[in-house]
Structure 1
Amino acid sequence: MKQPKPEQYHEKKRHTEDQFPYNTYLCTIPDDFTEVPVHWHEEAEFIVIQKGSGTVFVDLTHYHVTAGDIIIVLPGHLHAIREISGQKMEYENIIFRPELLCSDNHDVCFEKFLYPLFSGQIHTVVHIHPRLSYYPKIHDLIRTMDQLCSKKPAGYQLALKGSLFLFMFQLLSLDDKKELSNIQQRSLDKLKFIITFTNEHLEESISIRQIASACYFSESHFMKFFKTHMGISYIHYLNDVRLAHARNLLVSSNLSILEIAQKSGFENASYFNRKFKDKYGITPRQAR
């Protein structure tokens, strides 16, 4: 198997439009999906919890979140969203590309503040909750941006960019001074490798031996490493990614269910049907 290149360690799907790279949408777990598998991308993302509770994973930390909480995910950071059994969570995603705020001239705002923030040289808070003294300022900016996107008055893009600049100012003032150790950074890099390797070979049969070898780990060390950092086994993760890929193909393509199963790495159609129903509560045919 070909090993993925470092620059391929991320989700390449764009979540925004090129002309004004800012987007917002609402999701509900488990109604829309039971989880968002771990991934990373080049956009910045704010996860704003509206109702209920759940778990958000960012880099090597799991956060229990409830209504009102805000999770900050800057570009390049691993993150996932998971259901808490028996509970529902409604949340808003705000996603934008850094170039929305970065001028071509690379002025002082870019050089001194935005680039260090977006590239990870400056570390800011991840979990913002209502009990924090600065929460009202952050929450008010989120509410302002939502209102602008909802009403879209003439020139709203100007006001939206202004609000984002104020948001970045608040984040910079909350620099938590925490830096990843070399060991933590190596663990994150290895997780990114595993995620990309999995996605690039999704149609193939991936054994623990193969993925462990690609990581230069023994099988036992690989399984312990993955479970420690991700909270689930690799086989569980692999099946989740394959099922999510299959579900997307079911609604976005005209491929047969057998073809979709094969393109998602399931060699046995009956096994695919059973796992899909276990995961989503409906059959693949009902998902179309």
Structure 2
Amino acid sequence: MDNLEYQRYHEAKNHTSAEFPYNTYLCSIPRDFTEVPLHWHDEMELVVIHKGRGRVSVNFQTETVFAGDIVMILPGQLHSISGLDTYAMEYENILFLPSMLISGAPDLCAENYILPLTKAELSADTFLTPARSYYPEISSCIREIDHLCSARPTGYQLAVKGWLFQFLFHLVCHQKEQTSFTRSQTKHLEKMKRILSYIEAHFSEPISVEKVAELTYYSKSHFMKFFKTYTGKGFTEYLNDYRLARAAEMLRATDLSLLEIAARSGFENLSYFNRMFKRKYGISPGKYRDIKSS
């Protein structure tokens, strides 16, 4: 697994195939990447923790997760994954488009349950731990799906859909009391998406705190507090981390010179780029390229 999977805040790439929009893959922190930054996408995502512990944030709710926990992330929800102290964490990412469970005809299941659930109009638990009364049922669904996707018997796609229906059935049966986002929380989410989209589009250009603060209609000082509250990092640190991740991507995928990569990732000074890169990855950009290309 490569952290290229997570270099886009709003992941526009297709994780799944058009014919069968379901995909699963294994990830490890910190072996594969140090963190998965805030992002969102159109698929529903399940994060299944296999070993260790870490931190997962979904729409600004952050929890420590342990082996056995399952995190359900709805389409469009901002989420991130990170390590915790010195612990490693191995987990499975499951991504699928809810549309794979919806027929083209008028569909009672879609209209009454699937669409309201994916739009958070039905309130289901996000962090599914063994303490939940229905945990054995939902974890069994995931085990069955994993087995099917590994063995791939003829027609396994039919059974995968069946188990996904079972999984959603248990969520709907045990939906909790509706706790809708406040108007203020919804605005904060939209502001954060606006910021992250701007960073993605303009990271190679000079970006000032004042310019990004304008996107939120906050003063500079208010914006700085807002950003650190919801990301855990100052804006400059966060921007540098994003630029360095994009630089690492270019080092792996292109033959561009270090000077060109530094410029394209938003660093005007090569020595500063080298210093920041080594601080983040522990090695120089040149050595990083050598290791990744060998």
TM range (shorter): over 0.9
Letter in 2 for 1:93: N
Deviation at 1:256, TM superposition (A): 2.4
Q: RMSD of the alignment, in Å?
A: 1.6
Between 182-191 and 169-178, report the one with greater CA deviation: 169-178
Q: Which residue of 1 aligns with 2:58?
A: 58
Alignment of 1:87-166 (within 5 A): 87-166=87-166
Tell me the distance in 2 between the aligned counterparts of 1:108 and 1:73. Answer: 23
Contact 1:70 1:128 in 2 (8 A): yes
Q: Which residue of 1 aligns with 2:220?
A: 219
| Structure 1 moving runs of 4+ over 4 Å | none
Q: Which residue of 1 aligns with 2:200?
A: 199
Helix, strand or coil at the partner of 1:57: strand
Letter in 1 for 2:252: V
Tell me the distance in 2 between the aligned counterparts of 1:101 and 1:215. Answer: 37
Contact 2:191 2:215 in 1 (8 A): no
Cα-to-partner distance string for 1:135-180 (whole Å, 9 max, x where unaligned): 1111111111111111111111110011111111112123222211
Helix, strand or coil at the partner of 1:287: helix
Contact 1:37 1:240 in 2 (8 A): no
Deviation at 1:185, TM superposition (A): 0.7
Q: Which residue of 2 aligns with 1:252?
A: 253
Cα-to-partner distance string for 1:13-32 (whole Å, 9 max, x where unaligned): 11111111111111111111
Deviation at 1:205, TM superposition (A): 1.1
Deviation at 1:287, TM superposition (A): 2.7
Letter in 2 for 1:273: N
Helix, strand or coil at the partner of 2:124: coil
Tell me the distance in 1 between the aligned counterparts of 2:208 and 2:196. Answer: 14
Tell me the distance in 2 between the aligned counterparts of 1:104 and 1:56. Answer: 35
Letter in 1 for 2:211: Q
Tell me the distance in 2 between the aligned counterparts of 1:207 and 1:26. Answer: 37
TM norm structure 1? 0.93
Deviation at 1:208, TM superposition (A): 0.8
Tell me the distance in 1 between the aligned counterparts of 2:65 and 2:250. Answer: 31
Deviation at 1:253, TM superposition (A): 2.5
Helix, strand or coil at the partner of 2:285: coil
Deviation at 1:286, TM superposition (A): 2.7
Q: Which residue of 2 aligns with 1:5?
A: none
Deviation at 1:123, TM superposition (A): 2.2
- Which runs of 5 or more structure 2 residues have no equivalent in the other structure? 1-8, 290-294
Deviation at 1:131, TM superposition (A): 2.0
Q: Which residue of 2 aligns with 1:4?
A: none
Change (3 A) 1:101 1:287: farther
Between 54-63 and 278-287, report the one with greater CA deviation: 278-287
Higher relative contact order, chain-length normalized (CA < 8 Å, sep 6+): 1
Between 249-258 and 129-138, report the one with greater CA deviation: 249-258
Tell me the distance in 1 between the aligned counterparts of 2:85 and 2:32. Answer: 15
Deviation at 1:211, TM superposition (A): 0.5
Corresponding position: 1:190 with 2:204: no
Deviation at 1:196, TM superposition (A): 0.6
Q: Which residue of 2 aligns with 1:3?
A: none
Helix, strand or coil at the partner of 1:286: helix
Helix, strand or coil at the partner of 1:246: helix
